[in-house]
Chains A and B, each alone.
Chain A
Amino acid sequence: MTSNSSSDAFVAFERVQKSYDGEILVVKDLNLHIGKGEFLTMLGPSGSGKTTCLMMLAGFETATHGDILLGGKPINNIPPHKRGIGMVFQNYALFPHMTVGENLSFPLEVRKIGKSERERMVKDALDMVQMGDFAGRRPAQLSGGQQQRIALARALVFKPELVLMDEPLGALDKQLREHMQYEIKHLHESLGITVVYVTHDQSEALTMSDRVAVFEDGRIQQLAAPDDLYERPENAFVAQFIGENNTLRGKITAQNGPLVSVDVEGGLQVQALAVNCGGVGEQTTLSLRPERVSLNGDGPNSTSARVLELIYLGDHIRCRLEVSGDDQFIVKVPNGAGQKHLVVGEITPISWQSEDCRALDF
């Protein structure tokens, strides 16, 4: 489903730049190709330009530079209502003066679809989101989750091939959000539509997407499948932003094959996988996932650490350790029978595989 060349991409951003005020670029040189049927998520901190990209695709903002292509054709000069893109807004934007049924019927009316056909399509769309009995209600008479479903149904009722969603679940509570994630994912698979999804919730991005584009400061920092993103981050920002991460800083002293030796500040010597670092003598950031650290002392990278804090989380115990002067080193210990029982203040050996420690940009 992933496509990387512009020729077979369904949606393509080609060297797109955007500035609102003529001084600051909020989107800098964006290149992004989205395949047909793909579920692509734009993930990033607040103000990183995600909504701006979505609005350019929908036609509500114009790109300052570059081309946006839909189905191989540039759409820069096509007004929003002719693009045929479904859209779900963060606050749903259901028309308050129309009933649910009228809301859904609206896109069909403007497409001049006959009455009986229209009623059938509205009913199908409502059934699809399990809201068949709510056609006569006003949006104000629905709960947040129900409004969300109606907004989804309205964006899908006219059968667009591309659907954009800007933080559609942002206003829901955690449980409902997880449930809706599953439903959206399910609809995406059964309808075969292309979805561009914006969120700043990383677990949402990881569970739903085929690929995730991590935005920061108007640039895509990494574009990859969720597992790649988590296990093989390409730079320090992505490693830090996705999941929990231990960061060590140091200087490269030697390189042998895929590995580098790094002198960590505080006197520790470790081996790490060279991913995105300079040559010998350069500074680097080491990234190490907390669950990849084990509490025994063998292997190439082992050291001793002092236990500072233990937090009981049911399925695992989160330990904060002091390692080589860094007192924010986190280790996750599974809550199992064979595991060692730590005590605050104790000195414990720790170790990890060289491949799990990634040397990234500084």
Chain B
Amino acid sequence: MSDSSPVIAADGRPLKASLNRALRRQKIRALLLIAPLLLFVLVTFIAPIADMLFRSVENDIVSNTLPRTVVALDDWDAGSGETPDEMIFAALAADLAEAVAAKRHTQLGTRLNYELSGMSSLFRKTGRQVKKLDMDAPFREQFLEIEEDWADPEIWITIKANSSKYTAGYFLNAVDLQNGPDGIEARPENQRIYVKLFGRTIFLSISITLSCFLLGYPIAFLLANLKARTSNILMILVLLPFWTSLLVRTSAWKVLLQQQGVINDVLVWIGLVADDNRLELINNQTGTIIAMTHILLPFMILPLYSVMKTIPITYVRAAKSLGATNWTTFWRVYFPQSVPGIGAGSILVFILAIGYYITPALVGGTSGTFISNRIAYHISSSLNWGLGAALGAILLALVLVLYGLYDKIVGIDNVKLG
């Protein structure tokens, strides 16, 4: 049967083509059914994310605002250490005249200020004087008269470095690097915050996942092995947090954990802690871990429970009948079969934790905040969307890498949500 001529259907067409035609209707129907959701997701989720990701590399403000200058700077040698010549200043004068007319020069200044401080005020000051420029006199002297910083090659290097339409600058910034005169270099010590923040976010997320696992596993085990009636009641208790507002729960932790709070009061009253030496449980990493463990615990318990529910009691009985003690039975027979649940719960909790924002902002203080808090700051306060987008993109990549790593080690097929 190895001859390669295609199988023919009753109507004389190749069977494959007939089958495809028959299936096409079904496919179109399926597509129509999900079309509204697809459209919704596309418009409200995928498109904004794509747009944000694009902003992390987009950099056309310099080339759009100063087109002539950018072309003229092509021939200028950035390494020479000399101020550019008259031709380039002439181009700048023409560009700035247009930019000021369109009121775009301040935006440009703000953008370039991310790279080199002082640029913002330089452009604002120059912008005010552009109209008074004498179109016949040499421009170079006139610019230096307005602001002698224009003689500084550093300024021109920055303009030239940002003249391409795309930039890696935001990404470099997001990992505490910058584009210096001699290529990529580390940022000054006091400006390096993001790598540390990423590290802390991962460390705290792992701690939270771990503590969710340690607390959740016994509860899931109990839920899966109790009688239906009792376990239903317990299940309601597990789900209770879902029915309470996140803000309420987080604020409750504030009340409980603060230095004059309930927990410290009780510890002092018992005598475990001295009154003048109350524990710092909030506005630091401890606070973040405690509050987020509480909030994310159900996401660990539910997948664990649904996997444990499917482990038949006969495996445990078989192990015992073969002579295994309770512990051996658990460790060698029960636990390995619950691993898919651990995997699912851990991925879920970890990915939720790594992007969490409200709780760390409320109880994390300065040492317990996450990278997402920084992203939010750049999106809504500093308005440096490019940097915010770059940080977000790195976070997304990080999650995907960890996911891939997990797939390699545990195997994503082993993850079961029920």
Contacts and interface: CB of A to CB of B under 8 A. Distances in A.
Given A91-B312, A96-B337, A107 B317 contact: no
B332 interface: yes
B259 to A, nearest CB: 49
Contacts of A80: 317, 320-321
A59 B329 CA distance: 15
Given A97-B336, A97-B337, A158 B314 contact: no
B321 A106 contact: no
B323 interface: yes
Nearest to B325: A81
A79 to B, nearest CB: 8
Interface string A30-59: 000000000000000000000000000011
Given A95-B333, A96-B337, A110 B328 contact: yes
Contacts of A96: 337
B318 interface: yes
A127 B207 CA distance: 50
Contacts of A155: 321
A93 B315 contact: yes
B321 A86 contact: yes
A89 B317 CA distance: 9
B248 interface: no
A81 B323 contact: yes
B324 A85 contact: no
Contacts, number: 63
B33 interface: no
B326 to A, nearest CB: 8
A139 to B, nearest CB: 11
Nearest to A80: B320
Contacts of B315: 93, 95
Contacts of B332: 106
A95 B316 CA distance: 10
B34 interface: no
A106 B336 contact: no
A341 interface: no
A254 to B, nearest CB: 56
Interface string A186-220: 00000000000000000000000000000000000
Nearest to B336: A97
Interface in B308-346: 312, 314-315, 317-326, 328-329, 332-333, 336-337
Interface string A78-103: 01111111110101011111000000
Interface residues of B, number: 19
A349 to B, nearest CB: 56
A110 B314 contact: no
Contact of B321 (A87, A91, A94, A97): A87
Nearest to A58: B321
A106 to B, nearest CB: 6
A37 B76 CA distance: 102
A95 B336 CA distance: 10
A179 interface: no
A110 B328 CA distance: 8
B324 A110 contact: yes
A59 to B, nearest CB: 8
A251 interface: no
A87 B322 CA distance: 8
A89 B337 contact: no
Nearest to A87: B321
A60 interface: yes
B324 A89 contact: no
B21 to A, nearest CB: 37
A126 to B, nearest CB: 16
A190 to B, nearest CB: 22
Which one of B315, B328, B329 has the greatest number of beta carbons of chain A within 10 Å? B315
Contacts of B320: 59-60, 79-81
A174 interface: no
A225 B337 CA distance: 43
Given A93-B315, A93-B318, A107 B323 contact: yes
B314 A91 contact: yes
A207 B320 CA distance: 31
Contacts of A154: 322
Nearest to A60: B317
B317 A58 contact: yes
A107 B332 CA distance: 12
A154 B318 CA distance: 10
A250 B336 CA distance: 63
Residue among B315, B320, B336, B337 with the most chain A CB within 10 A? B320
A138 to B, nearest CB: 13
B314 A106 contact: no
Interface string A142-164: 00000000000011001000001
A81 B325 CA distance: 6
Given A95-B333, A97-B336, A89 B325 contact: no
Given A60-B317, A93-B317, A110 B322 contact: yes
A81 B333 CA distance: 14
A110 B318 contact: no
A111 interface: yes
B321 A81 contact: yes
A160 to B, nearest CB: 9
Given A93-B312, A95-B333, A96-B337, A106 B322 contact: yes
A59 B324 CA distance: 13
A82 B320 CA distance: 8
10 contacts: A60-B320, A80-B320, A81-B320, A85-B321, A91-B314, A93-B315, A93-B317, A97-B336, A110-B328, A164-B321
Interface of A: 58-60, 79-87, 89, 91, 93-97, 106-107, 110-111, 154-155, 158, 164
Interface of B: 312, 314-315, 317-326, 328-329, 332-333, 336-337
Give 9 closest A-B pairs by Cβ, nearest first. A107-B322, A93-B318, A87-B321, A93-B314, A80-B320, A97-B336, A81-B320, A110-B324, A110-B323
